[in-house]
Amino acid sequence: MTPPLVQIGGARRPAPERQRLPEWARKSRTHFESLNKLKTGLRELNLHTVCESARCPNIHECFHRGAATFMILGNYCTRGCGFCSVPKANPRKHDMRLDPAEPANVARMAVGLNLRYVVLTSVNRDDLDDGGSHHFAETVREVKLALPEARVEALTPDFCGDLDAVARVLDAGPHVFNHNMETVARLYRRVRPQANYQRSLDVLAFARKHAPGTLTKSGFMAGLGETEEEVHQLLRDLRAHQTDVATIGQYLQPTRRHLPVAEYVEPRQFDAYRDYGLALGFQTVFSGPLVRSSYMADVVAEAAAGHGGHALDVQPSAGPAC
């Protein structure tokens, strides 16, 4: 009698079912003509946007209105955050030399788009002695020179806590200094394993002290497994470190290789986080499932400049934002 076959390793487990995306977190309308036109201009100048590299689900809307967040220092990051789809690379195995023409090309593209508000961000370049801060500062200066009437927002990495590097960017004169916390303290090891919660808070506090006339801003995601009290603590920590503006949005899993969504947070909870933040003294809190750190950055900055504790109700046409 033939013995029954034995399956080594047990039965194959079915893949976990992905949560259904709720209506309030769905993508906005598509604008392929605008998307392709802007992408063509970026590629001609060898430029990148975080909208593309981070697979922002609201890229169509932002590109349609001529808005984009330039991502400098190349398109490869030296860190491996669990939420982020920006390409990762090892500088010992890949050519990650900086493009010396990038600052001038960013300025040229901003002029071509006739921008009045320019957001600059970058990958983490922990392989560089200065973290890329000289290059970042040069880009700020080039944009300000090309567009003297425009406002510039610098959304920087933590530069491994090198405050001289932070000062270098601030001394270039951005109107807004933005550094994202991304998540609550307890989740840092899983979400941002190469970052440090207190270090990021220290960067924001230093920015306020070093450049008191510069608006300070930070953003984070909900839906990664945080509790309401942990979000409240993060907001209290940001205010204690003199941050002026907070942005809060829903985390969306960019690919199956990234951290899963723990929860789709209801819009009313985002409203509650906004109200709590305003009560703490933030100049502006932009909170909602469709919010991202640099989305509607010009409107957020204008609201903050008006002071008085503003709640923004600017949302894209049904979709998560850049």
Q: For the segment 291-322, what is each residue's pLDDT rounded down to a tens digit?
A: 888 877 788 888 998 765 555 654 443 333 33
Per-residue pLDDT at 255? 83
Task: Sort 204 into a burial class: Cβ within 10 Å, 0-12 / 13-18 / 19+.
Answer: buried
Helix-helix angle 228-240:267-280, to 10 degrees: 30
| Best CA proximity match to 72, nearest among 49, 52, 90, 94 | 49
Task: Answer positive or negative: Cα dihedral of 311, 67, 254, 318.
Answer: positive
φ/ψ of 216, rounded to 5, equals: -105, 145
Per-residue pLDDT at 266? 95
Helix (H) / strand (E) element for 122: namely strand 117-122
Contact 179, 133 (CB under 8 A): no
State how far the Cα of 91 lies from the Cα of 4, in Å rounded to an integer: 53
**In the chain, which stretches have pLDDT less than 50?**
2-17, 31, 34, 50-65, 314-322
Per-residue pLDDT at 12? 41
Q: Which alpha helices (H) appear in 118-254, and where do they start and end?
A: 133-146, 163-171, 188-191, 197-210, 228-240
> What tokens does 312 get?
């923004």
Q: What angle do CA 295, 110, 292 make, to 5 degrees?
A: 10
Q: Which alpha helices (H) appear in the chain, and where do they start and end?
A: 32-44, 50-53, 59-64, 102-112, 133-146, 163-171, 188-191, 197-210, 228-240, 267-280, 297-305
Contact 111, 222 (CB under 8 A): no
Helix-helix angle 133-146:102-112, to 10 degrees: 30
> pLDDT tens across 97-137, in order?
999 999 999 999 888 888 888 899 999 999 999 999 999 99
Q: Which residue has the tokens 């960013």?
A: 106
- CB proximity list for 122: less than 8 A, separation 6 or greater: 71, 72, 73, 132, 136, 155, 156, 157
Pairing state between β 69-72 and 48-49: antiparallel
- CB proximity list for 267: less than 8 A, separation 6 or greater: 24, 288, 289
The structure's pTM equals 0.83
State how far the Cα of 154 lies from the Cα of 178, in Å rounded to an integer: 6
- What is the Cα gyration radius of the chain? 20
Distances in Å between the Cα of 281 and the Cα atoms of 75, 120, 140, 160, 245 are 36, 26, 29, 29, 10
Per-residue pLDDT at 34? 46
